[in-house]
Amino acid sequence: MSRWKNIAVLAAATASAVAVTGCGPSTASQESAQQSSVLELLASDLQGSLQEAADRTSKIETLRATLVASGPEDFEMQMAMDLRDPLSYEAVMEVGGEVTTIRLIDSVMYMERPEAERASSDGKRWMKMDLTSAFASGMGLDAQVQETDPVQQVETLLELEGVTVVGEETVDGVPTVHYSVTATTEEHLALLKEQTELDSGDLGNAAGQAAKYGVTEIKTELWIDEQYWPRRARVTMGEMGVMTIDYTDYNEPVTIETPPAAETTDFAELLGDLGEELGSTATT
């Protein structure tokens, strides 16, 4: 499945910060003891800890993330997200040697166009697409938005059987507990369909791509810190590649602006103009 390319088109996350239960430590030794006890609980009470992580992560308001994909299509993407209503985020990535930016403001996506393509739209920098349109719905973009959601990553571990605790590990200087679970491709896609409302066509395409690359199982890993926040998520899909997402800067301010209307071309209008041109050509 062209998972990496799809995620490059849209990626988001959902989540609000709640402090660890109890008063803050007054000394370094107390802080170390509290951290140790939380990490021990994360490792020993697996189901309860994952449920607590899902509850707390669902309340996060803003965060940043770095997504790195390797496989048939390699790329890296930096994301800033405001998860309050209306949802908005900005993703900056390099694809084919060009840096491009994608912004999501409520249900409208803005894609920065390469300079070489702007001449066809009067030099306008941005392409606008309404994600509630029939065209966008057919692309399954709403489902793809959820694929990097840290809440979904936690719920995946809650729903799948066989989750194990790998151990305590440090991610970007933050102590965490590392979880892992491996499921068959069918199990994973069935859960993804339930979580993201994928239609049968999307599910069939995903299954077909998995079969093409000989992928029979998918490994999901999650690293959770002492505040019950995901710090890293990783999905490994054999020859289809690996996607790793690092989450940082929870509830730090982010600013995501709607591109100026004067610099924006509406994708729906572009399709309409293209249809008129094709219709005119067909009648000549």
Residue 49, in any domain of the structure: yes
Residue 276, in any domain of the structure: no
Residues 6+ apart with CB under 8 A from 90: 79, 80, 81, 101, 102, 103, 104, 254, 256
Q: What is the separation, in whole angstroms, between the first and last Cα of the chain? A: 40
Q: For position 180, what pLDDT does the model report?
A: 94
Closest listed residue to residue 114, CA positions, set 133, 127, 131, 105: 127
- In which order are the strands placed within the sheet that holds 126-130? 164-171, 174-184, 217-225, 230-236, 242-248, 62-70, 75-82, 88-95, 98-105, 108-112, 126-130, 264-266
Residue 42, in any domain of the structure: yes
Residue 21, in any domain of the structure: no
Domain span holding position 157: 3-14+27-269
Please tell me the number of Cα atoms within 13 Å of 62 on its side-chain side.
12
Backbone phi, psi, residue 84, to 5°:
-75, 165
Residue 130 sits in a domain of what CATH number?
Answer: 2.50.20.20
Strands 75-82 and 62-70, by their bridges, are antiparallel
Q: How many residues are there in the chain?
A: 284
Q: Residue 80 gets which letter from DSSP?
A: E
Q: Which two tokens stand for residue 12?
A: 């988001």
Q: For position 27, what pLDDT does the model report?
A: 36
Please tell me the number of Cα atoms within 13 Å of 142 on its side-chain side.
17
Residue 277, in any domain of the structure: no
Residue given tokens 């990626």 in the structure block? 11
Closest listed residue to residue 109, CA positions, set 252, 254, 258, 219: 258
Q: How many separate domains does the chain show?
A: 1
Give me the average pLDDT of each 10-residue run along the chain (284 residues).
35 25 32 66 92 90 91 86 86 81 89 84 89 60 56 79 94 96 86 67 76 90 94 91 93 94 86 49 49
Residue 283, in any domain of the structure: no
**In this structure, which amino acid lies at residue 237?**
M
Strands 264-266 and 126-130, by their bridges, are parallel
Number of H helices, E strands in the chain: 9, 12
Please tell me the number of Cα atoms within 13 Å of 205 on its side-chain side.
11
Q: For position 282, what pLDDT does the model report?
A: 47
How many Cβ atoms sit within 10 Å of the Cβ of residue 123? Answer: 11
Q: For position 2, what pLDDT does the model report?
A: 38
> What is the C-alpha separation between 193 and 25, in angstroms, rounded?
43
Residue 282, in any domain of the structure: no
SS3 of residue 278 by DSSP: helix
Q: Residue 240 gets which letter from DSSP?
A: G
